[in-house]
Amino acid sequence: MGKRDLVIIGGGAGGLVVASVASQLGLNVTLVEKQAKLGGDCLHTGCVPSKTLIKAARVASLMRRAGEFGLEPVSPRVDISKVNAHVQSVIDQIQPHDDPERFRAYGCEVLFGRAEFIDAHTVRVDDRQIQARRFLVATGSRPFVPPIEGLEQAGYLTNEDLFSLAELPQRLVVLGGGPIGLEMAQAFARLGSKVSVVERLPHLLPQEDPEIADALRERLLAEGIDVYTSTSAERVTRQDDTRHVYCAGGVQLEADQVLVAVGRRPVVEDLGLDAAGVDVDQRGIRVDRRMRTSQKHIYACGDVCGPYPFTHMAEYQAGIVISNLVFRFPKKVDYRVVPWVTYTDPELARVGMTEQQAREQGIEPTVLRFPFRDIDRALAEVEPWGLTKFVVHRGKILGATILGPHAGELIHEIVLAMKTGAGIGDISATIHAYPTLAQVHRRTVNTWYGEKLFSARTRRLVGWIHRLLP
């Protein structure tokens, strides 16, 4: 077959984007995936199944809350195996987009097996050696399991096996108060589990604005979830089907299942990266702003190199790879405006700086807030929880955090404003349809104009105008 133009290791979001484009443009591409199917973590054990489960749990919650809408409340009977069958059905609907035959029709060779570099220009896939001009490593990440005494012996869950449960755990302990931990904690609580969350840092979602994270914590507590911050699991034992989780500070918890959600680690083992001369550190493969590794003909994208473990960032980085590797047009990543969402209810969406980060950079920001309880659409939908928080400097938005209904959808108006350099005046002057949740943006920035408009100085000016003019 001769030397390939490109070998891609990893059939997740980033690898598939590059494989699709490069193959359709006529390059000789080989795509290698270790698992028996394409799609990666996002499709099979991450984004798609988790959001499907979250929606099912929300429906169960709304059934119980029906009285708030003038309807008769219903207590749903939850069969987790049926819920997970629904989750799998959604995966099956999306899977054809990642069908190997689709990529083979583009001219891409698709192999299933373990790829390992034997030198900087050759990989071994099972018994076959493949040489290529260029390579892309897009092997993703896997759950990090901390070295907690007794955890392995007691048994635990991660996102990789959470969506195949045959029985709903009556008691669930979630280790980790980050996005995955909180999303699954709330979902399982709404499905009927008694859930406890253990987070070693003082606030849930440590990467987020503490004010907003604490507001979300109050909502979780209101739903009956127990939250233990500033503590961590030190030892786990098992007696029959009960796990005993012993935490710092004397906290002891009992659980039928323990979900480990304390973070993820890049998949860099057994790839032969040393043999290829590719530099790796604790965060994964080191890349430059053109997504090139220390070997300039070897690229990486997605979770394996970071810095953001999001599918949308893997796809964005794949676009940078395509520009540099396929078109040979130099293009660099730009991480100044990166949105992300925690899909709890209410959702928490974020882009840009927090108030604290702005101050750490020597900026004294103007902070604008507005509560969803004052948005008519939120009241109509009985979703009055949460608030917006905009970090503004000289009329420009440096960052925004939204805690509220559909925050993951709402954040994109702010993303676009930041990307294009639009100021808060542009948002204020934009007509927002009524009644929509998106009105919250205009109402938020108008809190700044309201202070100016109704000041004593403006009142004097209006009085002077009316005395002067007939």
* Residues 91-122 pLDDT 10s: 999 999 999 999 999 999 999 999 999 999 99
CA–CA distances in Å: residue 442 to residues 279, 392, 406, 425, 455: 47, 14, 16, 9, 20
pLDDT of 1? 58
Quickly list H helices, 240-348. 273-276, 311-321
Is the confidence at residue 454, as pLDDT, over 90? no
Quickly list H helices, 155-279. 179-191, 210-222, 273-276
pLDDT band at residue 455, thresholds of 50, 70 and 90? low
Cα separation, 318 vs 465, in Å, equals 59
Quickly list H helices, 65-126. 80-94, 100-105
Cα separation, 21 vs 464, in Å, equals 65
Q: Judging by beta carbons within 10 Å of its beta carbon (0-12, 13-18, 19+), is residue 179 exposed, middle or buried? A: buried
Which residues are CB-contacts of 370 (< 8 A; sequence separation ≥ 6)? 387, 388, 440, 443, 444, 447
pLDDT of 457? 73
Cα separation, 214 vs 229, in Å, equals 11
Over residues 175-192, mean pLDDT: 98
Domains parsed from the chain with CATH numbers = 4-38+99-143+265-326 (3.50.50.60), 151-263 (3.50.50.60), 339-453 (3.30.390.30)
Q: Which residues pair with 141 in a beta bridge?
A: 266
Is the confidence at residue 458, as pLDDT, over 80? no
Token output for 3? 């030397």
- pLDDT single digits (tens) 274-328: 999 999 998 999 999 999 999 999 999 999 999 999 999 999 999 999 999 999 9
Is the confidence at residue 460, as pLDDT, over 80? no
List the helix and strand counts (H, then E) for the chain: 16, 23
Over residues 358-374, mean pLDDT: 97
Amino acid letter for position 22: A
> Which of these, 259, 271, 196, lies nearest to 229 by C-alpha position?
196
Q: Percent of the chain scored above 70 by pLDDT?
A: 97
Q: Are 393 and 363 in contact (CB under 8 A)?
A: yes
pLDDT band at residue 167, thresholds of 50, 70 and 90? very high
Burial readout 166-176 (b: 16 or more C-beta within 10 A, e: otherwise): eebbebbbbbb
Token output for 368? 């604008």
> Which of these, 383, 390, 398, 302, lies nearest to 344 by C-alpha position?
383
Cα separation, 85 vs 153, in Å, equals 29
Token output for 194? 């008694």
Over residues 124-147, mean pLDDT: 96
> Which of these, 331, 327, 330, 329, lies nearest to 26 by C-alpha position?
327
> Which of these, 453, 438, 350, lies nearest to 400 by C-alpha position?
350
Q: How many other CB atoms are there within 10 angstroms of residue 362's CB atom?
A: 6
Is the confidence at residue 184, as pLDDT, over 90? yes
Is the confidence at residue 459, as pLDDT, over 80? no
Is the confidence at residue 467, as pLDDT, over 90? no
pLDDT of 157? 97
- pLDDT single digits (tens) 39-63: 999 999 999 999 999 999 999 999 9
Predicted TM-score (pTM) of this structure:
0.94
Average pLDDT, the chain: 95
> Which of these, 408, 407, 390, lies nearest to 399 by C-alpha position?
390
Is the confidence at residue 78, as pLDDT, over 80? yes
- pLDDT single digits (tens) 417-450: 999 999 999 999 999 999 999 999 999 999 998 6
pLDDT band at residue 221, thresholds of 50, 70 and 90? very high
